[in-house]
Amino acid sequence: MPLGLGRRKKAPPLVENEEAEPGRGGLGVGESGPLGGSGGGGPHVGLPPPPPSLRPRLVFHTQLAHGSPTGRIEGFTNVKELYGKIAEAFRLPPAEVMFCTLNTHKVDMEKLLGGQIGLEDFIFAHVKGQRKEVEVFKSEEALGLTITDNGAGYAFIKRIKEGSVIDRIQVISVGDMIESINGQNLLGCRHYEVAKMLKDLPRGRTFTLKLTEPRKAFDMISQRSAGARPGSGPQLGTGRGTLRLRSRGPATVEELPSAFEEKAIEKVDDLLESYMGIRDTELAATMVELGRDKRNPDELAEALDERLGDFAFPDEFVFDVWGAIGDAKVGRY
């Protein structure tokens, strides 16, 4: 059966082999704006926050990544609320929190917090540090960046490809938040929107990036990581299970992902990077959920259109996602 029978006309892929990556979650878990890797999909009007009685009363321990006493936070149901609780614990403006990592204070993209937190995970919050302005000459079509977002309106660099245009600029590092491109403010933009802007910049021209790097602890001053390795998906929590943060509805406590789910999410996340230049494990997890019980690619295409239509996934991508989920079901890893 031809893929996409009856589907509405789709736009061409936003980015090919370029630069957007929803965070582990990238992060698609905010109430509005970027879902940060989160599985919520494109921009939408979120439902009001659930009443306190429906929110899991779970307590998590947290520190500021550059060093602080340990705080205790609870009563949040999405990433935006989580950042607010962290800011309250350390008496910071919520906008100062850039992103969080789990069980490490380092800027480790394999440990980026997205839509799931292990019930025994320790949360490290990375806050804004030095601002910088960089001029970049686009000598090649692909800059070598992978972009993610934090679930609350910030897009930042998750990976830098070795030998790429950006890799040759030492002042740009993994974890840097992209504030603007050529003066255009990007606060509130999704990762794929930022990636598209970078992709559309003309080759052979110079453009200006305004960046903010996360504040670093003493042992991180010289760090310049290339980011997570392709296919090295994050461990979705430790201990008894995970807290699943959602853009719509209350957070829920779930079992750790099965071997099928972990492998399918990893393969779909790889496809997101290949087709769109983004990595977002929470978005990938949502796609696996939507596709696991579908009987053919057309049913998957309809489900993606309904839930994640703003991404305008091309038919070839949907077909490959269907194949990746099918392979994971039968153990072809």
The CA radius of gyration of the chain, in Å to the nearest whole number, is 19
Written as one string, the DSSP assignment of 194-248 is HHHHHHHSPTT-EEEEEEEEEP--GGGTT----BSPTT-PPP---TT-EEE--SS
Cα–Cα distance between 94 and 228 in angstroms, integer? 26
**What are the backbone angles phi and psi of residue 136, rounded to the nearest 5°?**
-120, 130
| Residue 170 pLDDT greater than 70, yes or no | yes
Cα–Cα distance between 267 and 247 in angstroms, integer? 23
> In DSSP terms, which residues pair with 72 in a beta bridge?
61
| Residue 232 pLDDT greater than 70, yes or no | no
Task: Render pLDDT for 87-124 as a digit per residue (tens, 0 to 9).
Answer: 999 999 999 999 999 999 999 988 988 777 888 899 99
Residue 87 CB neighbours (<10 A): 18
With pLDDT > 70 as the criterion, what percentage of the chain qualifies?
71
Question: Could you identify the residue written with the tokens 């698609």?
Answer: 28
| Residue 29 pLDDT greater than 60, yes or no | no
Compare 105 and 217 and report the one with higher pLDDT.
Answer: 105
Residue 16 confidence (pLDDT): 36
Residue 72 confidence (pLDDT): 95
Task: Render pLDDT for 222-231 as a digit per residue (tens, 0 to 9).
Answer: 455 555 444 4
Q: In the structure, what pLDDT confidence band is assigned to residue 258 with cuts at 50, 70 and 90? A: confident
Compare 255 and 179 and report the one with higher pLDDT.
Answer: 179
Residue 196 confidence (pLDDT): 87
**Across 196-205, average pLDDT:** 92
HSE-CB at 64 with a 13 A cutoff on CA atoms is: 20
Q: In the structure, what pLDDT confidence band is assigned to residue 155 with cuts at 50, 70 and 90? A: very high
Task: Render pLDDT for 53-78 as a digit per residue (tens, 0 to 9).
Answer: 555 568 899 999 999 999 999 988 88
Cα–Cα distance between 274 and 202 in angstroms, integer? 21
Instruction: Say whether 308 sits in a helix, a strand or coil.
Output: helix
Residue 266 CB neighbours (<10 A): 21
The region of weakest confidence among 38-52, 181-195, 243-257 is 38-52
Task: Render pLDDT for 278-324 as a digit per residue (tens, 0 to 9).
Answer: 778 878 888 998 998 998 999 999 999 988 888 888 899 999 999 99
Q: Where are the domains of the chain?
A: 59-215, 257-330
Tokens of 112: 């980026």
Task: Render pLDDT for 267-290 as a digit per residue (tens, 0 to 9).
Answer: 998 888 888 777 788 788 889 989
**Across 150-169, average pLDDT:** 91
The region of weakest confidence among 18-22, 185-189, 202-206, 248-252 is 18-22
| DSSP category for residue 88 | H
Cα–Cα distance between 158 and 110 in angstroms, integer? 9
Contacts of 226 (CB under 8 A, 6+ apart): 159, 160, 161, 162, 167, 174
Residue 2 confidence (pLDDT): 45
**What are the backbone angles phi and psi of residue 199, rounded to the nearest 5°?**
-65, -40
HSE-CB at 89 with a 13 A cutoff on CA atoms is: 25
Cα–Cα distance between 129 and 112 in angstroms, integer? 18
Compare 47 and 187 and report the one with higher pLDDT.
Answer: 187
> In DSSP terms, which residues pair with 278 in a beta bridge?
147
What element of type H or E holds 283? helix 281-291
What element of type H or E holds 62? strand 60-64
What element of type H or E holds 304? helix 297-308
Instruction: Say whether 107 sits in a helix, a strand or coil.
Output: coil
Residue 225 confidence (pLDDT): 54
Fold of domain 59-215: Pdz3 Domain (2.30.42)
Instruction: Say whether 23 sits in a helix, a strand or coil.
Output: strand
| Residue 43 pLDDT greater than 70, yes or no | no
Residue pair 149/176 in contact (Cβ under 8 Å)? The answer is: no
Question: Could you identify the residue written with the tokens 């998750």?
Answer: 158
Cα–Cα distance between 124 and 105 in angstroms, integer? 6
